[in-house]
Amino acid sequence: MVLIKEVTARSHAERAGIRAGDSLVSVNGYEIRDVLDYRYRICASKLDIELVRNGESIRVSMLKDEYDDLGLEFETYLMDEKQTCKNRCIFCFIDQNPRGMRESIYFKDDDSRLSFLMGNYVTLTNMSEDDIDRIIEMKMSPVNISVHTMDPELRVKMMRNKNAGKVLKYIDRLAQAGIELNFQIVLCRGINDGEALEYSMREMEKYHEVLLGVSVVPAGLTKYRDKLYPLEMFDKEECLAVINAVNGIGDKCKEKYGKRLFFCADEFYLKAGLPMPDADYYEGYPQLEDGVGSIRSSEDEVDFELDCIEEATLKKKRVLSIATGEAAYDFICRTVEKIEKMCYNDLKCYVYKIKNDFFGENITVAGLLTGSDIYTQLKHKELGERLLVPEVAVRREGELFLDNMSIGELSEKLGVPVYPVGNDGAEIVSAVLYE
């Protein structure tokens, strides 16, 4: 039973007599527990809805077009609480956050519903056979799973959850039902790399009919690892070895199945000093949100956008600046050089590489930059008329960086307007060229 917070005016729900304060019990005889039940059951064109109003059970019926929304709003997006993670993974990034940050930073979610709705990765340890039944019945696809290793004993060790190995059996059920899957391997040096990685990839290959892709990403290690499991970063040669291992199996899969399946995150290529593969390598970027192919995708988008602009004519000479993380720095520099070349000296854009002092030098991605690091490193720099910062570093809660500094505060401290910009190539070009 779920409390209805609001009813949209002139909606199907309002016309049927449903009111704010009613509690939704069932749709067409099926109990509604959360957003997945609700969204799936209301797709029918004929609905019999059971409600509770002032302690009494009532029923309403309605006819509508298939997939029409009812116009109901609930207390939370999921219609109940998020499921918190039951694991204590040896590489967990949240455990490596410093104290004193906002409370939401420390919440560990492991919610299968967010895998379907938001693309989040789940470990399966929060799930039951009934949860798997529901995914199969509703044909929820794809499901994104943080696997890390296909060795049950090693998975228990890495996730420090006695059930972590047992739940791997759920993958078989999902695959047999035709549910598409994305896998993630967070690679820890000396733990699940080497022969363990080879074994995991061979086992994952068995799901090739439903497997969209496997991302292999290095564990992120901050400077706040006191009393945590001892882990170390991969060096250049080790990154090269990982790339060769992943591409070795990926090449064979390409020959056998027509798809590569296995991909390394951009961080491995950057650390190994290798250029990013061409766009064709990524086969439509199935793991883009996991940092696989992000730089190549953005660079190709930049080139496409610039090809559509024969000549960039600016009304006046413009001077601006961009702050970015160490990982994306070279890409941003190449992008700015291309744009400046088109503007015939009417544009000057400074690009500043921000070292992550807040989390530590091992963290190089733009999404973990903080306002304090940007301010400290740019307060005496030439910034021009505006500063562009990575949108991924800013959270929606009041446009805050992870250290709770807001965009407005950073702008005031630096004395120039600060604008977040997405990593889409067209957005970057537009932000540099146009006001």
> What value does the mean pLDDT take over residues 390-405?
83
Main-chain dihedrals φ then ψ at residue 286, nearest 5 degrees: -70, -20
Q: Among 7-11, 165-169, 254-258, 344-348, which is the least confidently predicted range?
A: 344-348
Q: Among 10-19, 32-41, 402-411, which is the least confidently predicted range?
A: 32-41
Asked if 346 and 314 count as a contact pair (C-beta separation under 8 A), the reply is: yes
Percent of the chain with pLDDT over 70: 91
Asked if 229 and 186 count as a contact pair (C-beta separation under 8 A), the reply is: no
Residue ranges per domain, the chain? Answer: 2-74, 94-291, 300-433
Asked if 68 and 39 count as a contact pair (C-beta separation under 8 A), the reply is: no
> What value does the mean pLDDT take over residues 402-425?
93
Main-chain dihedrals φ then ψ at residue 55, nearest 5 degrees: 85, -5
CA distance 269 to 246: 12
Could you confirm whether domain 94-291 is CATH 3.80.30.10?
A: yes
Helices (H), 143-192: 152-159, 169-176
Helices (H), 151-208: 152-159, 169-176, 195-205
E strand or H helix at 100: none
Evaluate if residue 2 carries a pLDDT over 70: yes
Model confidence over 263-297: pLDDT tens digits? Answer: 999 999 999 999 999 999 999 998 888 889 999 99
Evaluate if residue 109 carries a pLDDT over 80: no
Query: Any idea what DSSP says for residue 80?
Result: S
* Residue 424 pLDDT level (bands cut at 50, 70, 90): confident
* Residue 154 pLDDT level (bands cut at 50, 70, 90): very high
Percent of the chain with pLDDT over 90: 68
pLDDT at 310: 65
Let me know if the fold of 2-74 is the same as that of 94-291: no
CA distance 289 to 280: 17
- Name the region of 71 (left: φ>0; alpha: ψ -120 to 50; beta: rest): left
* Alpha-carbon distance values, 233 to 149, 217, 272, 376, 396 (Å): 18, 12, 12, 26, 31
pLDDT at 38: 83
Model confidence over 187-246: pLDDT tens digits? Answer: 999 999 999 999 999 999 999 999 999 999 999 999 999 889 999 999 999 999 999 999
What CATH number belongs to 300-433? 3.40.50
Give the torsion through C-alpha atoms of 8, 11, 15, 19, to 10 deg.
-20
Top-level CATH class of 2-74?
Answer: mainly beta
> Taking Cα atoms as reference points, which of 76, 92, 179 lies closest to residue 127?
179
pLDDT at 119: 67
Main-chain dihedrals φ then ψ at residue 387, nearest 5 degrees: -120, 130
pLDDT at 86: 84
Count how many residues are written for the chain: 435
Higher-pLDDT residue of 267, 341: 267
> What value does the mean pLDDT take over residues 143-160?
96
Terminus-to-terminus CA distance in the chain, angstroms? 50
* Burial class, 383, CB count within 10 angstroms (exposed 0-12 / middle 13-18 / buried 19+): buried
Q: Which residues, in sequence order, are bridge partners of residue 274?
A: none
Evaluate if residue 311 carries a pLDDT over 70: no
> Taking Cα atoms as reference points, which of 90, 101, 286, 308 lies closest to residue 180?
286
